Chain A
Amino acid sequence: EAGVTQSPTHLIKTRGQQATLRCSPISGHTSVYWYQQALGLGLQFLLWYDEGEERNRGNFPPRFSGRQFPNYSSELNVNALELEDSALYLCASSSPEGLAVNTGELFFGEGSRLTVL
């Protein structure tokens, strides 16, 4: 069974540009989560999508946005890039709520490393 896949693996942008990161969840998973892992700041929750809708959002400015497609894949967009947006962006998925198979853990991809110059 394929795990969570993220693309691109690495992305280099300059200040003011836009970045788009993509994530495909594990088959059968309907929830997708995005986390930012910046150096020295641990894992910060960005966004949670479930069944195509944004369910929750972390403490990030509006230039961080995303969406979830009908096939449950997801896209994270970062507009007007700033130097401090340089980080590893991790996507995770989980199975639908309420199902016995959902015991709470998230399954992570390998991440997309964004570098802003």
Chain B
Amino acid sequence: AQSVAQPEDQVNVAEGNPLTVKCTYSVSGNPYLFWYVQYPNRGLQFLLKYITGDNLVKGSYGFEAEFNKSQTSFHLKKPSALVSDSALYFCAVRGPYGGATNKLIFGTGTLLAVQP
């Protein structure tokens, strides 16, 4: 069964410093991996995805993520954090298309707090 883990409930970082939000996954076959962000009392906004190709994926708002197959990880990164990046971040995985695997499985979320 596919699953995703976000080991940190909260990440604190000072504005201007680099940030990393961790995610590891388990899925049969090649993974489809996603990052979403949720601001308070809002729905989820898509940030970026990895389907195939280059292991470094660039997304919205200056975020990027690195796919590491050997470590089954897909960590979210940003070179310089902004206070406005403070939000709840979700990693998600889905299996190959078709059948019962056609849904996103989300991690428990990581709250990113960027201090001014």
With contacts A56-B100, A103-B49 known, is A110 near B42, CB below 8 A?
yes
Which residues does chain B contribute within 8 Å of A72, judged by CB atoms?
none
Query: In chain B, residues 7-53, which have Cβ atoms closer than 8 Å to a Cβ of chain A?
Result: 32, 34, 36, 41-46, 49, 51
Q: When the two chains form their complex, are residues A104 and B108 in contact, meaning their CB atoms are under 8 A apart?
A: no
| Least CB separation from B47: chain A residue | A105
Q: Does B74 contact A (CB under 8 A)?
A: no
Query: In chain A, residues 74-113, which have Cβ atoms closer than 8 Å to a Cβ of chain B?
Result: 90, 92, 97-98, 103-111, 113
With contacts A48-B102, A55-B102, A97-B97 known, is A42 near B43, CB below 8 A?
no
Which residues does chain B contribute within 8 Å of A33, judged by CB atoms?
103-104
Query: Number of A residues contacting the other chain (C-beta, 8 Å)?
Result: 25
Q: When the two chains form their complex, are residues B46 and A43 in contact, meaning their CB atoms are under 8 A apart?
A: no
Q: Does A64 contact B (CB under 8 A)?
A: no
Q: What residues make up the interface of A, taking CB atoms closer than 8 Å to B?
A: 4, 31, 33, 35, 41-43, 45, 48, 55-56, 90, 92, 97-98, 103-111, 113
| Least CB separation from A107: chain B residue | B46
Query: Number of B residues contacting the other chain (C-beta, 8 Å)?
Result: 24
Q: Does B106 contact A (CB under 8 A)?
A: yes
**B60 CB to nearest chain A CB (Å):** 12
| Least CB separation from B42: chain A residue | A110
Q: When the two chains form their complex, are residues A48 and B103 in contact, meaning their CB atoms are under 8 A apart?
A: yes
With contacts A97-B102, A104-B49 known, is A42 near B42, CB below 8 A?
no
